[in-house]
Structure 1
Amino acid sequence: MLIWEFSAQDLALTRFSHSPLAELSNSVQVLKEPGEHAVHLRWVREVRPRIDWAAYGLLSALVRVPNVYVPEFLTPVATAWEPTLDEELAQLVATSAEQVRVDVDRITAPLAPEVAALRADPAAGLNRLAAEVRAYWEAALAPYWTRIRRLVEGEILRRAQQMSTGGPAALFADLHPRVSWADGSLRIAHRWFTGERTLDGGRGLVLVPSVFAWPGVYSQTNPPYQPGLVYPPRGVATLWERPSSAPDGLVGVLGRTRAQLLTELGAPASTTELATRLGLSAPNLSHHLSALTAAGLVARHRTGRLVLYLRTGLAETWIGQS
């Protein structure tokens, strides 16, 4: 059990971020150990034929299974809301030789030859790692990144709504089965780690939704890195699914098209995504979304230039009773 003690300043600075590099590191573990990550099996089946681990020797050696520790320079907790992969790779190759060795020395198992070479010559090793990461990204994550981002954006919208109505207690209440909040402290029931920590100097905690973290939860506690908690977003089980059937009771009230549309909005989606999934024209989809929004069953949220739709609490209740 890890216990994190919060000050008022820490709580005020708690925020969200999404790290492409941390997502990538978690996805390597999923590919290596798919039986532990059943919701991603469709993705595994598509991606595994593209991956030859011999081409990613250093990346593979750093993300071992079973996974107890991955060096923090490969699993960053970003201070920006959503850094690009290029930004994170620039940060990776700029890691000091001293910090690389500190992180590598936290690995308790004997070092693989590739990792030992990284420790001996951090600059050369980090450049090799960055090249492997970029190649792996293009093969394994780039084709799916828009879908992943949408789910994470929806997660953050949902959590913001929770916090606005119920405060921090509501934010942490159902974050993950192994996470709980009480008396100003966050408790994370880790299998391999126990201890008590005070958040470092009022820097706050960064919450990092990661689809490939499922079903686990990971924490970042080692200085000088930003404290962070990596957890799977709600709706991750729907990420690779094809459209599901709407409940008969819902169809009877709303009609098949609107019932199906509401069923699809368990995770936020754009009109383009919804039209593709359901085979609807843009005007037809817009007509149904407008009706559901007017009925209080769908909410509309803008994130940058994109508009996302998701079910409201009322719709969740309807579907739960259908």
Structure 2
Amino acid sequence: MGAVRFGVHDVVNIRFAVSPLGETVASFRAALDPGRHAVHLPWLRAAVRLLGDRELAQRTAPLADLVRRTPVADALTPPPRCPLSEIEEELALAAIGAEPADAVRAWWRAAVEPHWPCMRALLEADIAHRTRQLAEDGIQEVFAHLHSTLSWEGDRLVSPYLPSPRPGRDDVVLDLGGAGITLAPTVFAPECRLLAAEGTTPPALVYPARALGTLWERRDRAGDGLARLMGRSRARLLAHTSSPSTTTQLAARTGLSTGAVSQHLAVLRDAGLVTSHRYRREVHYTASDLGTALLGTA
């Protein structure tokens, strides 16, 4: 049984992040052991075929060797730092050699990157849900709904899936020491994990994202009635704004150019069907209550 102690400063330093590197390593583990990940069966069929490709198998051999020798994937990936991290940024911080890093890149490009827009959309939708829950119900409710194995004992968050910071010791509590913790939803991990950190970087609690069963559903075809009303391209765009999305992400999901996406979004925003907000250098678009109601009717 592992435990994490929270102080006042830790509570105010809770943040969310997405890790493309963590998802890439976890997806490779899932492909090696597909029986534990039935929810990803549509993706696994293609992933297992990729593992059988001789050229890709050679390129990913250093990663396979490292994964088999490292019982916990956490040792291969540093705690994510922000929701906008790119895989190359994370690889630069990871404690792995050049050959394993190249193997990670090969698997990312072949098995993860083609599906990353949909994966990232689901992860960002989870974060949007948690942050709204935080605003409405407080941080205790957020942790209460992250995973059924998590519970509070005074100022400690405990779970059988949170490893002790010291191997072989069950009585050691990880004190966050005011650094806080990063909450990172994941597509491929079936349980919670704690990613240890070094220096001033806070540790990360990785937890299964919501609605994983919807990830591989086909979403390309919007309702015919909605498509006739506003045009198929705008109907598809509206359907993909159920979670916060940028123009670049929407272009990748729909196959439209970024210019066309921007023009359609301007029309949808003027009609009150989507809203926009800026985060750092990106503008995220989300279906409004009216847009969500319209999608539900369709």
Q: Note whether the superposition's TM-score is higher than 0.5.
A: yes
2:113 maps to what in 1? Answer: 142
Report deviation, 1:169.
0.9
Q: 1:61 aligns with which of 62, 65, 79?
A: 65
Report deviation, 1:59.
1.0
1:90 maps to what in 2? Answer: 92
Contact 2:30 2:188 in 1 (8 A): yes
Report deviation, 1:77.
0.2
State how far apart, in whole Å, the 2-side matches of 1:272 and 1:20 are: 17
1:33 aligns with 2:33: yes
1:243 aligns with 2:214: no
State how far apart, in whole Å, the 1-side matches of 2:106 and 2:237 are: 37
Report deviation, 1:6.
0.4
Name the TM-score, length of structure 2 as normaliser. Answer: 0.72
State how far apart, in whole Å, the 1-side matches of 2:275 and 2:144 are: 23
Contact 1:235 1:266 in 2 (8 A): no
State how far apart, in whole Å, the 1-side matches of 2:21 and 2:120 are: 13
1:47 maps to what in 2? Answer: 47
State how far apart, in whole Å, the 2-side matches of 1:20 and 1:186 are: 26
In structure 2, relative to structure 1, the CA distance for the partners of 1:265 and 1:284 (3 Å cut) is closer
In structure 2, relative to structure 1, the CA distance for the partners of 1:61 and 1:200 (3 Å cut) is same
Number of aligned residues: 281
Q: For each residue in 1:194-221, what CA deviation from the matched residue of structure 2 results, as whole angstroms up to 9, or x when unmatched?
A: 55423343211111112122x2221124
Name the TM-score, length of structure 1 as normaliser. Answer: 0.67
In structure 2, relative to structure 1, the CA distance for the partners of 1:89 and 1:185 (3 Å cut) is same
SS at match of 1:203: coil
Q: For each residue in 1:26-85, what CA deviation from the matched residue of structure 2 results, as whole angstroms up to 9, or x when unmatched?
A: 1111111222112211112233323343432221122249x842352x121023443322
2:229 maps to what in 1? Answer: none
In structure 2, relative to structure 1, the CA distance for the partners of 1:145 and 1:290 (3 Å cut) is same
Identity of aligned residues (%): 34
SS at match of 1:231: strand
RMSD: 4.2
2:206 maps to what in 1? Answer: 230
1:160 aligns with 2:131: yes
Report deviation, 1:315.
10
State how far apart, in whole Å, the 2-side matches of 1:138 and 1:261 are: 25
SS at match of 2:173: strand
State how far apart, in whole Å, the 2-side matches of 1:261 and 1:138 are: 25
1:151 maps to what in 2? Answer: 122
